[in-house]
Structure 1
Amino acid sequence: MNTLIFRTVAPYLTALMVLFSVFVLLRGHNEPGGGFIGGLIAASALAIYGIAYGVQAVRRAIVVHPLSIAGAGLLMACLSGLLSALFGVPFMTGLWVYPELFGVEVPLATVMSFDVGVYLVVVGAITSIALALEERDHD
């Protein structure tokens, strides 16, 4: 299914899906969504791009190896949980800070950094699997 229409639409569809995955990631605390679902949507976007243009195009687009993305996400998620232990509260307890940026108080939480870590783990792992399967399919 590598038609001219598909190759023309794939970059726009990929960009739209990645944008939607970030939206789902960010709204995941108050409504359905979060890091896991957002990561699946982003990995699906990269898979569509890979079907249209090939594995090497996806590897050039994401710059780093997908397992490095997953490893960074795992580290971020673990550090989010361990940070609470350093403050003497139970593991995975949400901690909040309120820095002021440009005169506006911005609430930041370890819960969000955990969700971003999960997002990166899912994107990296699923993309790595999809690229490996696609490479094997063309050998």
Structure 2
Amino acid sequence: MMKPGTIILYTAARFLVPLQLLFSVFLLLRGHNEPGGGFIAGLVAAGAFTLYLFTFGAAVTRDLMRVDPRNLIGIGLFIGMLSVFPAVLQGQPFLTAQWWPIMLPGGTEIKLSTPLIFDIGVYLTVVGATMTMVIALTEAEER
């Protein structure tokens, strides 16, 4: 296992990775209304995993991710494709946005939408593609 970092890097990575992942979810959820979205959020999440990779090595990062990055690409593409069906099933043009209001306990209303479903697919695809490349480059360097 590769351990090139310092104690400061180890400590910082353990605090920064969860914060970066939380920020990536924030960017994902606000993305279709304001700047952000699936692509930028996916890059921020990939940056978090890359920091962890450079600190603790490829094997530990694969364990942290729990899902092979190549599988994330397929899952993301599948979820992105799911976002087209609600409009088609309602006889509307391809990729027309659909919104579904949902009441949460306490009287708060949130609106789930097909743009959010599409952004989640993009998010997973970007994280998967980026981490596949970075892990492959790191493992090639370790050989």
1:115 aligns with 2:119: yes
Q: 1:30 to 1:99 in 2, by over 3 A?
A: closer
How far 1:108 sits from its partner (Å)?
1.2
Which residue number corresponds to residue 50 of structure 2? 47
Deviations 1:51-96 (A, max 9, x none): 0000011110111111111211110001102331121111110111
Structure 1 residue ranges (4+ consecutive) displaced by more than 3 angstroms after TM superposition? none
Which secondary structure state, in structure 2, belongs to the residue aligned with residue 98 of structure 1? strand
Alpha carbon RMSD of aligned pairs, Å? 1.3
Q: In structure 1, what residue type is equivalent to 2:100?
A: V
- The whole-number CA distance in structure 1 between the counterparts of 2:73 and 2:10 is 28
CA distance in 1, matches of 2:50, 2:28: 19
Q: Within 2, Cα distance between the matches of 1:56 and 1:85?
A: 43
Match of 1:21 in 2: 24
1:106 is displaced (CA, Å) by 2.8
**How far apart in 1 are the matches of 2:123 and 2:91?**
27
- Equivalent residue for 1:89, pick from 89, 92, 101: 92
* Structure 2 residue identity aligned to 1:129: M
Long gaps (5+) in structure 2: none
Q: CA deviation at 1:116?
A: 0.8
The normalised TM-score by structure 1 is 0.94
Q: Give percent identity, aligned residues only.
A: 45
Q: What is the TM-score of this pair, normalised by structure 2?
A: 0.91
Please report how far the alpha carbon of residue 100 of structure 1 lies from its aligned counterpart in structure 2 after TM superposition. 3.0
Structure 2 residue identity aligned to 1:25: L
Q: CA deviation at 1:31?
A: 1.4
Q: Name structure 1 gaps, 5 residues minimum.
A: none
